[in-house]
Amino acid sequence: MFSIWERTSFSGNYDLAVVGAGITGLFTALHYRRAHPQARVLVLERGPHPSGASVKNAGFACFGSPSELLRNMDEEGEAAALQRVEQRWRGLLELRETLGDPGIGFEPVGGHEVFGADEPLYTRVAERFDALNAALHGIFGKPVFSWSDDRISPMGLRAAHLSFNPLEGAVDSGMLMRTLLRKVQGEGVDVRYKAPVAGWEDGPGGVNIRMAEGEAVQARCVVVATNGYTRALVPASDIAPGRGQVLLTSVVPGLQLNGTFHKEEGYFYFRHYHGRVLLGGGRHLDKAGETTTGDGTTPRIQNALEELLRTMILPGRAFTIEQRWSGVMGFRTQGGPPVVKHLSPHVVLAAGLGGIGVAIGIRVARQAAELVGSRTD
């Protein structure tokens, strides 16, 4: 039994309801509200706080390592791959400008790719290194990648080759999401936690959103920004979940590692974090097993991560593991960029951000806000 005040200020009809308070969902709400300052906008989040990949990731502010970009070019064609790099680069700049570097804990430490001795991948990348820089010239106006093997030993790595990209960096993902939440709420968007959406009916007057518990929510239109969890709501979606596992060491005395690092086409990634090593990846070692929305880590992947610590990142040094966690990404099953499309007249899906979502969340969100805002009924 709601009072008139609850009905008018805390429930009733919303102009836009966004499902999912990740980077995509929150920026969608923000863009929409800025374009429609009178609109009532609500974000529905199943967790006690944002609980998806946006708060589980490694905090790389990146747009792709050389081997990953070359693979993308081979698989998608050069034009499509370059377009994605440009989206990511512009997204990073926009993210930094919108939330401010201090607000996201941005560190301009650069991005690296590490290669071991006799790695066939190194030969393949080295052969096309100059061509890659030339292809990227149209976006950056200068060479992006350079070889930086002289920095391997000072950073304590056991590796043979290191490429360096000064344009990438690291963020504090928790700080980023807190700053984004504050901005979104400060600009008049309501955020409701512990509010899992169970489904919806799209009718002529708008959308009736069924909640897993409690009263339904009515909204004129809806954006579904549930990324890796999308299939629970849209079973026919071409977005498959992909779990990523991470570990964090305890403080390693005298750690000289500084920057963000990729290895093997981005399938492994590591960085410094307050004197510790944060390391993740290895999904390619068990793709079937990691196609899941389940929380958790597995010995197979965690052992591979620890092996990398022992042999390449902290060779000959003692370390202990302080924490392990996992998060769920959303990947298009046939590859390609994120999807932003109507599921029905008043419902838009914005998902499939893959492994480099920090950079593009803000732009995918703009597309979603514009698409859903283009309906006038």
Q: Which residues bind ligand FAD (CB under 6 A)?
A: 19-25, 44-47, 50-54, 56-60, 62, 196-197, 225-229, 233, 244, 246, 280, 327-329, 353, 355-359, 361
Q: How far is the CB of 25 from ligand FAD (least distance, A)?
A: 5
CB 241 within 8 A of CB 229: yes
3-state secondary structure of 185: helix
Nearest CB to ligand FAD, comparing residues 266 and 373:
266
Nearest CB to ligand FAD, comparing residues 254 and 299:
299
Phi, psi of 208 (to 5 degrees): -100, 115
Q: How far is the CB of 98 from ligand FAD (least distance, A)?
A: 15
Nearest CB to ligand FAD, comparing residues 53 and 159:
53
Nearest CB to ligand FAD, comparing residues 328 and 347:
328
Q: Which residue has the tokens 């996201």?
A: 104
Phi, psi of 363 (to 5 degrees): -85, -40
- Sign of the four-CA dihedral 114, 118, 120, 123: positive
Token digits of residue 20: 């999912």
Q: How far is the CB of 237 from ligand FAD (least distance, A)?
A: 12
CA angle 197, 338, 286 (to 5 degrees): 85
Q: How far is the CB of 34 from ligand FAD (least distance, A)?
A: 18
Nearest CB to ligand FAD, comparing residues 59 and 206:
59
Q: How far is the CB of 47 from ligand FAD (least distance, A)?
A: 5
Q: Which residue has the tokens 């006038």?
A: 376
Q: How far is the CB of 115 from ligand FAD (least distance, A)?
A: 20
Q: How far is the CB of 358 from ligand FAD (least distance, A)?
A: 3
Token digits of residue 329: 């990404």
Nearest CB to ligand FAD, comparing residues 126 and 172:
172
Nearest CB to ligand FAD, comparing residues 136 and 171:
171
* Long-range contacts of 99-104, Cβ-Cβ distance < 8 Å, separation of 24 or more: 99/176, 99/179, 99/180, 99/183, 100/179, 103/175, 103/176, 103/179, 104/171, 104/172, 104/175, 104/176, 104/179
Nearest CB to ligand FAD, comparing residues 29 and 136:
29
**Beta carbons within 10 angstroms of residue 345's beta carbon:** 14
**Beta carbons within 10 angstroms of residue 363's beta carbon:** 21
| Angstrom distance (rounded) from CA 313 to CA 310 | 7
Q: Using CB atoms, what's the residue nearest to ligand FAD?
A: 357
Q: How far is the CB of 3 from ligand FAD (least distance, A)?
A: 26
Q: Which residue has the tokens 């392990």?
A: 324
Nearest CB to ligand FAD, comparing residues 57 and 367:
57
Length of the chain: 377
Cα 54 from chain centroid (whole Å): 6
Q: How far is the CB of 4 from ligand FAD (least distance, A)?
A: 28
Burial degree of 124 (CB within 10 A; 0-12, 13-18, 19+):
middle
